[in-house]
Amino acid sequence: MAHHHDDHDHSELSPVEARVRALESILVQKGYVEPAALDALVERYETQVGPHLGAQVVARAWVDPAYRERLLADATPAIAELGIGGRGGEHMVVVENTPEEHNLVVCTLCSCYPWPVLGLPPVWYKAPPYRARAVIDPRGVLAAFGVRLPQATRITVWDSTAELRYMVLPMRPAGTEALDERQLAALVTRDAMIGTGLPGAPASVPASVPA
């Protein structure tokens, strides 16, 4: 579906969406962007790129110890093994959660984000309150997201930049030994790969948050 026509009813658009639509129309009219290229870009980030790709990486690491080692040693080529990569994912680092350490990713200067594996960044990731508080009070930030960790668990904050972008390898949930890779990937959330959430639990295992 084309996104560049300006004859649609805009009454249902939010103020931000309306401004984006107006800017898009001006850029197209002035010849600064090609409508077909713009549509292809939008379609890519709506349908082809997203956290489901990062979930595939996590699930593979959970079931394949050799892949996990490669991922933690040099993430970019390991992720590329699954056919995943592109702009924003050239210099990836994957950090692993353990019972002793929980990792949290932020970009304090702007909103650098690993687009190829996580898709579009959530609004809160780009917001100044998150960017500031994640460094000052990471435990409080996690609590706001519903993640309450034992006091003994160390929280490490990783600051993504344009040159280096981080993704969290969350711990595999208990009770998932019988699940295959596809089923495991379905448990992996975007927030778990940022560090502000935990993976889901299989239907047979009650969902829980560490107390």
132-152 pLDDT, tens digit per residue, is 999 999 999 999 999 999 999
Are the beta carbons of 92 and 167 closer than 8 angstroms? yes
Enzyme catalytic residues = 107, 110-112
Q: In Å, how far are 5, 25, 38, 107 from 32, measured between CA atoms?
A: 15, 10, 11, 30
| pLDDT level of residue 28 (50, 70, 90 thresholds) | confident
| pLDDT level of residue 29 (50, 70, 90 thresholds) | confident
Note the Cα 109 to chain centre separation in Å.
18
Q: Does 3 have pLDDT greater than 60? A: no
pLDDT at 201: 87
Please tell me the pTM assigned to this model. 0.76
Specify the amino acid at residue 167: M
Token pair of 182 as six digits: 């596809």
**Average pLDDT, whole number, for the chain?**
84
pLDDT at 49: 61
Domain residues of the chain, as ranges?
15-48, 51-194
CA atoms of 103 and 170, how far apart (whole Å): 9
Decide if domain 51-194 falls under CATH 3.90.330.10.
yes
CA atoms of 67 and 82, how far apart (whole Å): 11
Q: Does 17 have pLDDT greater than 70? A: no
Which residues are within 8 A (CB) of 179 and not within 5 positions of it... i.e. 6 or more apart? 187, 202
Q: Residue 162: how many CB atoms within 10 A of its CB?
A: 12
Q: Kindly report, residue by residue over 61-76, the tens digit of the pLDDT.
A: 999 999 999 999 999 9
Average pLDDT over every residue of 11-17: 59
Whose structure tokens read 């490490």?
156
